[in-house]
Structure 1
Amino acid sequence: MDSNDTNFHNASVNAASGGEEWTHGVFFKIRVAVLLLIVIMAVLGNMLVIVSVMRHRKLRVITNYFVVSLAFADILVAMVVMPFNFSVQFYDGQWRFGTIICDLWNSSDVYFTSTSILHLCCISVDRYYAIVKPLKYPIKMTKKMAFIMLAATWLSPVTISYAPIFMGWYTTADHANYRLTNASQLTCEWVVNKPYAVISSSISFWIPCTIMIFTYFAIFREANRQEKAIAGHTRLMQRHSRDIKDKNILKMKREHKAARTLGIIMGAFIICWLPFFLFYVVTALCLTCKFPEVLTPIMFWTGYFNSVLNPLIYAYFNKDFRNAFKNTLACAFCSFCKKYRQRLDMAERLDRQGSGQLSRVPGSTRRRDSELTSI
C-alpha cells in the first residue's frame, strides 16, 4: 500500500469515527431532551390536576380525592425518582451518590409505583359501588372511608419498599457481599432475589391489576345493562316522571363517563408498566436469560411515562376536567401577564425617575465646578 492509499485509508477511518461520534452525540442529546421533557410534563401536568380540583367545586367529589392523591404521587415520582434515573442515563450508567442514596432511590421507585397502582385500585372500587351498587354507594363510600383507603394506600407499600431494601432482605447474598466490599461503587444495580421479586411484583402489580380488571368488567357490563334498560323504558318514564328520569339519566351518564375515563387511565397504566413487571419477574427467576442492556432504561422510562399520560387523558376524555384545565391555565396566564405588565410599568417609572435624576446631576456638577474655578 503506497502513501496515497495509506492517507486515504486513514482519512476514511477518521471520517467514520467522527460520524459515529456525531451520531452518538445526536442520539444522546435526543435522549436527554426526551427524558427531561417527561420529567417536566409529569410535574406540570399533575400540578394542573391538583390546582384545577382545588379551584373548581364541581370536581370536588370523592372519586377525585383519589385522583388528586394519584397526581401527587406522580409528582413525587417525577421529582424524587426520575432525576436519579436521568443522572444514570446522563453519566452512562455511573452512580455518583453513594450506597445510601442508591437504596433510597430504589425504595422510592418501588414505593411510588406501588402507591400509584393502589390508587387506581381504590378508584376502581369507588366506581364499582357508584355504578353496580348505586344504593349502597352513599353508605359505603363516605369521606371517612375515602381517607381510610388513602391512608392504607400510602402506608402499605412501605412493607415492600423501604423496610426490606434498607434491611437488605430484597437482594441475593452475592450482591450483598459485593456491596459490602465495594462501598465506593460507581453503579447502583437493582439485583433482587426470587422471593422478593414474586412477593413485591404480586403486591405492586399482579394482584391489584387482577382486582381492577374484574371490577371494571363488572362496571362496563352493568353500564351496558343500564343503558339498554333506559332505552327500553324511555317513553314510559317520560309519561309519568319526566323530571326524575332526566335527573337520573344525567347522573348515570356522568358516572359512565367518569368510569370510561378512569378505565382508560387504568388501561394506560397497565400498558406502561406491564412490560416492566414481566421483564422484572423474568430476569429475577431466569438467571441464565440474557437481555440487551438498553432494554432496562426503556422499561423504566416507559413506566415513568405513565405519570405524564394521566393529565392528558383527563383533558381529552373528561369534559369537566377539560374545562377546568382551560380555566386554570387562562387564569394562570392572565395573572402572569398582569404581573409582567406591572413589572414593566415599574421598570418604566424607575427609568423615568433615573433619567430625571441624571438630568439634574450634570447641572449641579457644573455649578460646583464653576464655584471651585471662581475660588
Structure 2
Amino acid sequence: MHMLLPCNCIIITNYFVVSLAVADMLVALCAMTFNASVEISGKWMFGTVMCDMWNSFDVYFSTASIMHLCCISVDRYYAIVQPLDYPLIMTHRRVFFMLLMVWLSPALLSFLPICSGWYTTTENWRYLKSNPHVCEFKVNKAYAIVSSSMSFWIPGIVMLSMYYRIYLEADRQERLVYRSKVAALLLDKHLQISQIPKPRPSIQVEQSTISTMRRERKAARTLGIIMSAFLLCWLPFFLWYITSTLCDTCTTPRIVVGILFWIGYFNSALNPIIYAYFNRDFRAAFKKTLKSCTLVKGTLSSITESVGKF
C-alpha cells in the first residue's frame, strides 16, 4: 500500500503512529500499573488525591489512544480514496492541529470533571474523600453519556465510516484492475489468432498492476484487523459502562469489571503490534535499531574484555 502513496503521505502517517505509540505507552505506565496494584492487593494504597489522578490518567490516555485511531482512519481515507488531494488536505500544519486537539481535548473529559468531582454523585464523592483506602470510578448519568460518546461512540462511528469507504474504494480498484487484466488478455489472444503483430509490449498487463491489486487486498485486510481489534477490546467495556450507569438496579461482579477494564487496556498493547507490523518503514527501522543495539553491546563487551585483560 505504501508504494502507491507519495513520500509525504508516509511521513504524515508516521506522525500519527508515533504519537499513538506514546499514548499507548502512557496507558501502560499511568493506568495499568495502578489498576494492577488494586487487583493484586484488593485495596487502594495511594490516598484520595492519587485516586483522582489515576482515574484522570485512565480516562485521559485511553481517550487519547482512541482519538489517535480515529485520526489515522481519516488520514487513511484521504490517502487511499483521494490520493491526488491528499497533499493539499493533510498538510503538516493540519496534522499538527489534529495532534494538538487529540492531546488537549481528553483533558476536558478527565482532569477537569474528575478532580472537581463533577463526574460522580455527591454521596459517592463524600464517601471517597472520607475513605482514602477506596478508589471507585462511579460516575453519574450525565458524565457517562458525554464521556462515552466523546471517548468511544463518536470516534467509533467515524472509524467505521472511514474504513467502510476505504474498503469500498479498494474493492472498486480491485475490480477495475481485474477488468483491465481480462481485457488485455483478450486483446492479446485476439492478436495471436488474427496473426497481427503486437504494436507495443505495453498491451500486456504490467506486473505493477498485479502488485497494485495485491496491495489493495492487503490494505483492506489490514483495515479489517484494525477495526476488529478496536471493537473487540473496547465495545464490551463501553456497553457495560453506559448500561450499568443508566440502570440503577444493575450490579456487576468486581471480577467482571476488572476483566472489562483489562480487555480495553489490551487494545493499547495491540496497536503498536498491528501498526508496526503492517508498516514497512517501521519494520525496517526496528530491524536497524536491533542491529545497532547488538553492535553497541558487542563493542561494550570487547571493551570490557580488553580492560579486564589490562
TM-score between the two structures when normalised by the length of structure 1: 0.70
Residues 81 and 109 in structure 1, CA contact (< 8 A), matched pair in contact too: yes
Residues 205 and 277 in structure 1, CA contact (< 8 A), matched pair in contact too: yes
Q: Out of 168, 171, 175, which is 1:221 matched to?
A: 168
Q: Note closer, same or farther for the CA distance 1:257–1:320 as it changes in structure 2 (3 Å cut).
A: farther
Task: Map 1:127-138 to 2 at 5 A.
Answer: 127-138=76-87
**SS of equivalent residue, structure 2 residue 254:** coil
**SS of equivalent residue, structure 1 residue 290:** coil
* 2:100 is aligned with 1:151: yes
Task: Map 1:220-369 to 2 at 5 A.
Answer: 220-234=167-181, 257=218, 260-314=221-275, 316-349=277-310
How far does the alpha carbon of each residue in 1:217-260 deviate from its partner, in whole angstroms, 9 at most, with x for none? 11001111011112222465996968xx7778767865764564
Q: Note closer, same or farther for the CA distance 1:249–1:169 as it changes in structure 2 (3 Å cut).
A: farther
Q: Out of 86, 97, 110, which is 1:161 matched to?
A: 110
* 2:197 is aligned with 1:197: no
Q: Which has the larger radius of gyration?
A: 1
Alignment coverage as a number of residue pairs: 290
Q: Note closer, same or farther for the CA distance 1:271–1:167 as it changes in structure 2 (3 Å cut).
A: same
Give the Cα–Cα distance (whole angstroms) in 1 for the partners of residues 107 and 209 of structure 2.
42
Residues 115 and 154 in structure 1, CA contact (< 8 A), matched pair in contact too: yes
Residue in 2 that maps onto 1:140: 89
Q: 1:290 Cα shift?
A: 1.9
How far does the alpha carbon of each residue in 1:164-204 deviate from its partner, in whole angstroms, 9 at most, with x for none? 11111100121022134x1x521111110001001100100
Give the Cα–Cα distance (whole angstroms) in 2 for the partners of residues 228 and 255 of structure 1.
11
Residue in 1 that maps onto 2:37: 87
Residues 201 and 277 in structure 1, CA contact (< 8 A), matched pair in contact too: yes
Q: Note closer, same or farther for the CA distance 1:108–1:95 as it changes in structure 2 (3 Å cut).
A: same
Residue in 2 that maps onto 1:187: 134
Which amino acid in 2 is paired with 1:132?
Answer: V
Which amino acid in 1 is paired with 2:105?
Answer: S
Residue in 1 that maps onto 2:195: none
Give the Cα–Cα distance (whole angstroms) in 1 for the partners of residues 213 and 116 of structure 2.
49
Which amino acid in 2 is paired with 1:219?
Answer: I
Residues 23 and 61 in structure 2, CA contact (< 8 A), matched pair in contact too: yes
**SS of equivalent residue, structure 1 residue 96:** coil
Q: Note closer, same or farther for the CA distance 1:147–1:114 as it changes in structure 2 (3 Å cut).
A: same
Which amino acid in 1 is paired with 2:115?
Answer: F
Give the Cα–Cα distance (whole angstroms) in 1 for the partners of residues 202 and 68 of structure 2.
39
Q: Note closer, same or farther for the CA distance 1:110–1:306 as it changes in structure 2 (3 Å cut).
A: same
Residues 81 and 105 in structure 1, CA contact (< 8 A), matched pair in contact too: yes
Residues 261 and 314 in structure 1, CA contact (< 8 A), matched pair in contact too: no
**SS of equivalent residue, structure 1 residue 185:** coil
Give the Cα–Cα distance (whole angstroms) in 2 for the partners of residues 155 and 324 of structure 1.
29
Residue in 2 that maps onto 1:103: 52
**SS of equivalent residue, structure 1 residue 125:** helix
Q: Out of 12, 16, 20, which is 1:70 matched to?
A: 20
Q: Note closer, same or farther for the CA distance 1:205–1:311 as it changes in structure 2 (3 Å cut).
A: same
Give the Cα–Cα distance (whole angstroms) in 2 for the partners of residues 70 and 228 of structure 1.
34
Which amino acid in 1 is paired with 2:30?
Answer: V
Give the Cα–Cα distance (whole angstroms) in 2 for the partners of residues 121 and 301 of structure 1.
21
**SS of equivalent residue, structure 1 residue 312:** helix
Q: Note closer, same or farther for the CA distance 1:263–1:137 as it changes in structure 2 (3 Å cut).
A: farther
Which amino acid in 2 is paired with 1:311?
Answer: P
Residue in 2 that maps onto 1:207: 154
How far does the alpha carbon of each residue in 1:5-51 deviate from its partner, in whole angstroms, 9 at most, with x for none? xxxxxxxxxxxxxxxxxxxxxxxxxxxxxxxxxxxxxxxxxxxxxxx
Which amino acid in 2 is paired with 1:322?
Answer: R
Q: Note closer, same or farther for the CA distance 1:196–1:253 as it changes in structure 2 (3 Å cut).
A: same
Residues 170 and 216 in structure 2, CA contact (< 8 A), matched pair in contact too: no
Give the Cα–Cα distance (whole angstroms) in 1 for the partners of residues 218 and 83 of structure 2.
15
Residue in 1 that maps onto 2:75: 126
**SS of equivalent residue, structure 1 residue 65:** helix
Give the Cα–Cα distance (whole angstroms) in 2 for the partners of residues 197 and 83 of structure 1.
24
* RMSD, matched Cα: 2.8
Give the Cα–Cα distance (whole angstroms) in 2 for the partners of residues 345 and 287 of structure 1.
71
How far does the alpha carbon of each residue in 1:75-111 deviate from its partner, in whole angstroms, 9 at most, with x for none? 111111111111112212x111111111011011101
Q: Note closer, same or farther for the CA distance 1:240–1:125 as it changes in structure 2 (3 Å cut).
A: farther
